[in-house]
Structure 1
């Protein structure tokens, strides 16, 4: 009977070891599948973040384009185009230049007469500090 028990125990040990090995294999397989699922979840998360970032950039670009369009409309409505503004500035500058030329022509003789009078009609006099220095 002792031999029979040993054989039974030996057989049971082999069966138990095989069962344990099978359990370990199942655990390793489950761990591998869990790691794969975690990796897939990380990939999905990274993909969602990338997609959200791209959508946000697209929305920002749409908003910027809309604001630029509104600004161009406002500028055209209230200020005119850049060419119109430049033309207005040039026109105003030409008017001012013409006015200055007209003023020069109108006052030219008068200014020349005053300059000649100041240059030609000199009244020499002794400086007031001269008497203080030489009593």
Structure 2
């Protein structure tokens, strides 16, 4: 009976070792599946990011032409206005200087409009 009892214990120990192996394999399988899921998710994120970056670049390129056209139109308009101001300055500067000099040099003395005559 002791041999049978010893054999039963030995069978239980072997079964326990087998169960430990199965549990260890299940843990390794789970860890490997998690690693695979993470790498797959990372890959999908990178693909999505690249697609969105390409979409943004396309959008930016389509808008860049419009912006540069508007900027060049504004630059041309500014140049025209500056030329007009310069032309007006050149044509009117002599007249303005003459008016200023006349106001400074040709002073006509007159009494202030608020001054009242004091009768004595």
Given the two structures, how large is their TM-score scaled by the length of structure 1? Answer: 0.70
Alignment pair present for 1:38 and 2:27:
no
Post-superposition offset of 1:103: 2.7
Alignment match of 1:58 (pick from 46, 50, 63): 50
* 1:123 lines up with 2:115 in the alignment: no
Give 2:84's aligned residue: 95
CA apart distance, 1:19? 0.8
TM-score, length-scaled by structure 2: 0.77
4+ runs deviating over 6 angstroms:
none
**Alignment match, 1:104:** 93
Say which is worse superposed, 104-113 or 17-26, in terms of deviation.
Answer: 104-113
Q: How many residues align?
A: 119
Structure 2 gap segments, 5+ residues each: none
1:85 is displaced (CA, Å) by 4.2
Q: 1:12 aligns with which of 4, 25, 33?
A: 4
Of 50, 71, 92, which residue of structure 1 is paired with 2:63? 71
**Does 2:11 match 1:24?**
no
1:50 CA drift (Å) = 1.1
